[in-house]
Structure 1
Amino acid sequence: MTLTMIVDGANVVGSRPDGWWRDRAGAATRLAQRLDGALVAAPELLARAVGVADGTPLNVVLVLEGAARSATPSATDPRLRIVRAQADGDTTIARLTGELSMSGAQIVVVTADRGLRARIHASGARTVGPGVLLRTLDAMDPP
């Protein structure tokens, strides 16, 4: 079974007060590049971080909204897909989750948004907070 991790880009980027609001597209680009690097270097660490056994194939969908849609990441791993929400990211994430649930994929959504979490749980998917993903990415970054 494949694991699809859907990342609420705005929620993850916004969880750390590092000046992201001055350059939303740049912050989204950096997150995409970190996800790409993690998929290349150690996808099993990403899967393990969200409670999935080693060896489970992993795909990551990064959903961008608002000004972050203009991000221009140079992602190279085919397991990373960037989705630019036409309206709000939550609606796009809920739609993607529903579609993927129907295909039988195992889904984990990375978000702290309570309303979105309720919508996601209703479709049978799991959620984890941004801290889980960011701690994993931080541990993988070179010193």
Structure 2
Amino acid sequence: MAKPPPSTVLIVDGANVVGARPDGWWKDRAGAAQRLHESLMVAAIPHEVVVLVLEGAAKGGVRPGRDAHVRTVHAQGNGDDTIVAETEKAAAQGSRVSVVTADRILMGRVERHGAMIMSPTWLLGELD
């Protein structure tokens, strides 16, 4: 029996994506996270699984867990550390991993695990 091809996983740095659009998100971080989650649920993104990582007050907008193809993860501490851990886990399972962030330090950390970097601008374009 042939092994199925690895899945494609898109890991989204929620804070970085929300912060890329100056629409008043800082007044309601939970609401901004909820709007991002809702957009990810309906967008035709070319990845089988989307992992949305939330930290701080944004966690109040979306419960952790899986909704269809979107899995929301609440960072226990630093969001970047959670993104790296999710990248490591997906790569270890044989998935092709892309990470959406503009954080240069985070980019270097996830690229070490084979992740491809996508910009918040790309993702926002896919969601519009």
Could you say which residue in structure 1 is the equivalent of 2:3? none
Note if contact 2:62-2:72 (Cα within 8 Å) is conserved in structure 1: no
Count of aligned pairs: 122
1:119 to 98, 104, 109: 109
* Equivalent residue, structure 2, for 1:28: 33
Moved >2 Å (runs of 4+)? none
**Cα distance in 2 between the residues matched to 1:99 and 1:72:** 22
Name the amino acid aligned to 1:16.
Answer: R
Contact 2:55 2:75 in 1 (8 A): yes
Give the Å deviation of 1:76.
Answer: 8.2
The answer to whether 1:133 aligns with 2:126 is no
Q: Secondary structure at the match of 1:27?
A: helix
Partners of 1:36 and 1:76 within 8 A in 2: no
Q: Is the 8 A contact 2:66 2:72 kept in 1?
A: no
Deviation, structure 1 residue 99? 1.1
User: Aligned AA for 2:16?
Assistant: N
Where does 1:1-143 land on structure 2 (aligned, <5 Å)?
Answer: 1-38=6-43, 42=44, 46-47=45-46, 58-72=48-62, 77-138=67-128
Q: Alignment RMSD, CA only?
A: 1.6
Q: TM-score, normalised by structure 2?
A: 0.90
- In 2, the alpha carbon distance for the partners of 1:76 and 1:94 equals 19
**Structure 1 gap ranges (5+):** 48-56, 139-143
TM-score in terms of structure 1 length: 0.81
